[in-house]
Amino acid sequence: MIELKANQAKIEELKRKIEELEAAMQNCELRIKLLEMNIRGVNKGKSTAVNLRDENRDSTYPLGFTPVHIQAQ
């Protein structure tokens, strides 16, 4: 009976590890898709970022991003 409980606990631990690995794999798959989309956009001459020109500096920010020190218009 003790051996059965130990095996059951091990099975539950392995199930949790599998769930964690599946979540990590899904995250990696999403990151790969985003990178592929970005590469396709760059290869087609499209950019995923825009240049916002300030009087004092020239910076590149992601599309739709407004720095805290700049008011949205």
pLDDT by position in tens, the chain (length 73): 788 888 999 999 999 999 999 999 999 999 999 999 888 887 777 655 554 454 444 456 666 766 666 555 5
Backbone angles phi, psi at 32, to 5 degrees: -65, -45
- List the structure tokens of 67: 């720095």
For 16-56, the DSSP string reads: HHHHHHHHHHHHHHHHHHHHHHHHHHHHTT--SEEEEE-SS
